[in-house]
A and B are shown apart, each in its own frame.
Chain A
Amino acid sequence: MSVRDAAQVAFFALGLRPLMTFFIGLRVRGREHLPDRDPFILVANHSSHLDTASLLSLFPLRRLRRLRPVAAADYFERNRLVSTLSQTFFNIFPIARKGLTPETNPLPRMEAALRAGQSLILFPEGTRGSGAELAHFHSGAAHLIENCPEVPVVPAYLVNMGRSLPKGEWIPVPFFCEVRLGQARTFTGSRREITAGLEAAVRELGQLT
């Protein structure tokens, strides 16, 4: 275990997990669908920094080093401090969002990570929304799923995260938040079909009452 891994485990065990339990009061529906082995691809709606934090807090500590939230490099690597913190404590997988060239295309790196047994957490909306509406999914996730069809895909829907900690705010309001997990499955077909299928799976979890 590297120093970084140990720092992340300590941060989760002593900081983030108690905060999720006693401050946010995180509720989980479909905990039985939490994948018990890596690699997997988790696809969720995105409205808050709490999204990644709450999803990661559900997993056993020893698996943290294999869980990679895919994050926009232009935001999470905007300066040395943010970059170090997000890599140390969240083990982010930074990708370029705009102006992709064959050199900056993140897909081969993501495929390599999956083959190396790392799991990826993706927010195909591409940015944090208001939490009220699900934005259209970008096609990146479908590219990845097309190239790695054997990796199980877990849909998830996150409730109230954007209400607790919306874009632009730094102190969360402790509304109860919820993670809803769907059954792991595979998606096939054209990229367009895969994207639509992912969006439908996440939306369906969002409509549960």
Chain B
Amino acid sequence: MSGLNPVWRMGLLILAVLVVSTLVVAVLRRAKPQKNFSELAARVKAWWIMAAVFFGAIAVNERFSLVFFGFLSFWALKEYMTLLKTRPADHRALVWAFLAVPVQYVWVAMKWYGMFVIFIPVYMFLFLPMRLVLARETAGFVAAASQIQWGLMAFVFGLSHLAMLLTFPAIPNSGANGRTLLLFLVFVVEMSDVLQFVWGKTLGRHKILPTVSPNKTWEGFLGGIITTSIASLVVGFLTPFTPLQTIGVALLLAVAGFAGGAVMSAVKRDFGVKDFGELIPGHGGMLDRLDSLCYAGPVFFHLVRYFYY
């Protein structure tokens, strides 16, 4: 198997994980017929679809992947903006904010790192308040400017780092390149989400952030990040890291992912909703699945860029 291209090797591994999860749910259902596993089954089924879509999107070619990630950012921004309390005066600024999505991905397609990394934090940051001023409505101005910019940062700027990873060339003396690094990032972060959920469900006692997310516990958090870092060794072949580095990076990603999830939970609490949408059965909206990656993506990107490029 080690002779296989790392992307396809990873594909087989994901397939194996999905098959095992599906079997575990089937065994649980047979062992405890009195309990209701329909939500768990729906989640696992959704994982099959998400894994297939994601793997397809990054296996075909780079252009296709960019369109895919651009669409993820667009949908995430939609879910966030729909829940905002926007003012009629914000209309034109919001149109420009959405236009920033394709533009940001054009920089990625051009592999123009300098523009990619300042477009939203600098230019959109300066432009949007100016556009809001032209609507001549000062009541609620600061809130509007801040909320729109925050959404762009988290869901467009943050998520676009996943696509930008794909522009990294192969790292000498390892099987790693942009695509394998992206696979590593997404696999570790999603695995951490799942393991934190599983540990929390089975052993969770002590709430970690009771006012923000009553389902998050210390047992889930610690169990999740520790098992994630150990399990990350299995996918170390996607990276140029030594085993010890792999564990360290996975630990960092798991913690960053936790932070992302907690922040988006607070956003949902503030908006008074349980989920961001209803796109993915058992999971909620797109953002309910991408929340951890909004944080872990930029962290991982800049870490790898600093040390390897």
Contacts and interface: CB of A to CB of B under 8 A. Distances in A.
Interface of A: 22, 25, 27, 130, 160, 163, 166, 169, 171, 173-176
12 contacts: A25-B75, A25-B78, A130-B88, A166-B88, A169-B91, A173-B81, A173-B91, A174-B74, A174-B81, A175-B81, A175-B82, A176-B82
Given A163-B86, A166-B91, A169-B91, A175 B78 contact: yes
Nearest to A167: B88
A163 B79 CA distance: 14
B220 to A, nearest CB: 30
Contacts of A160: 82
A176 B78 contact: yes
A204 to B, nearest CB: 22
B124 to A, nearest CB: 16
A176 B79 contact: yes
A173 B95 contact: yes
B136 to A, nearest CB: 15
Contact of B277 (A130, A163, A169, A176): A176
A174 B78 contact: yes
Interface residues of B, number: 16
A169 B75 CA distance: 22
A130 B92 CA distance: 17
5 A-B pairs closest in CB distance? A173-B94, A176-B82, A175-B82, A171-B95, A174-B78
| Residues of A contacting B: mostly | loop
A173 B80 CA distance: 13
B154 to A, nearest CB: 17
B139 to A, nearest CB: 16
Interface string B120-140: 000000000000000000000
A208 to B, nearest CB: 15
Nearest to B277: A176
B98 interface: yes
Given A130-B88, A174-B78, 9 more contacts: A22-B71, A25-B75, A160-B82, A173-B91, A173-B94, A173-B95, A173-B98, A174-B81, A175-B78
Contacts of A163: 86
A25 B279 CA distance: 10
A166 B87 CA distance: 12
Contacts of B86: 163
B39 interface: no
Contacts of B277: 176
Interface string B59-96: 00000000000010011001101100010100110110
A171 to B, nearest CB: 5
From A25, A130, A169, name the one whose CB has the most chain B CB atoms within 10 angstroms. Answer: A25
A32 B94 CA distance: 34
Contacts of A25: 75, 78
A174 B277 CA distance: 14
B162 to A, nearest CB: 20
Contacts of B278: 27
